[in-house]
Every structure is written in structure tokens, then in C-alpha cells.
Amino acid sequence: MKRYEFNIRISPDKYLDYYRGTIKHVVARCTNGETIQFPASLLQKFVTQEGISGHFVLTCDENNKLSELQRLGP
């Protein structure tokens, strides 16, 4: 399993672009310097009135198929 750790902050106004489908993917820089891209829909369960903010881990299988997205902290 491959793990990608990253911090992300998306304002409520900016997230509307993701929610409406105008923007379909999120691009984030990992803590180790790698850049990843994943479907914005994975973030829906983390949306609050302040948007999305926190430290996340994206886990993929050996074929780089998305397995799970978790928020580790604010």
C-alpha cells in the first residue's frame, strides 16, 4: 500500500467549483514533495462551513487504485 500525506485548505467559495463539477480533481503537494491528483468527490465528507482544512492521508493499492482518504487532524 502506498500512502500520500498532505495538508489542504479549500475555502467554502472555492469548494463550490468542486461541488458543481466545474473542477473535478484536486492537486496537492505531499509532505515528501510529491504531487498527487485525486477526484474532488473524495473530499465531500470533510466539508464544513469553513470549507475543507486539515492534514490528510490518501492510501492506494499496489496498482495506485484509490483505497481510502482519511483526515488525521486539523
DSSP character at residue 30: B
- What is residue 8's three-state secondary structure? strand
Q: How do residues 20-50 score in pLDDT, each as one tens digit?
A: 888 899 999 999 999 999 999 899 899 999 9
If pLDDT is split at 50, 70 and 90, which confidence band does 56 have? very high
Dmax (CA) for the chain in angstroms is 35
- Starting at the edge strand that comes first in sequence, how are the strands of the sheet with 52-60 ordered? 2-10, 52-60, 66-73
Q: Does residue 69 register a pLDDT over 90?
A: yes
Q: Which three cell numbers stand for residue 8?
A: 489542504
Q: CA-CA distance, 33 to 52, in Å (whole number)?
A: 21
Cell of 51: 470549507
pLDDT at 74 over 80: no
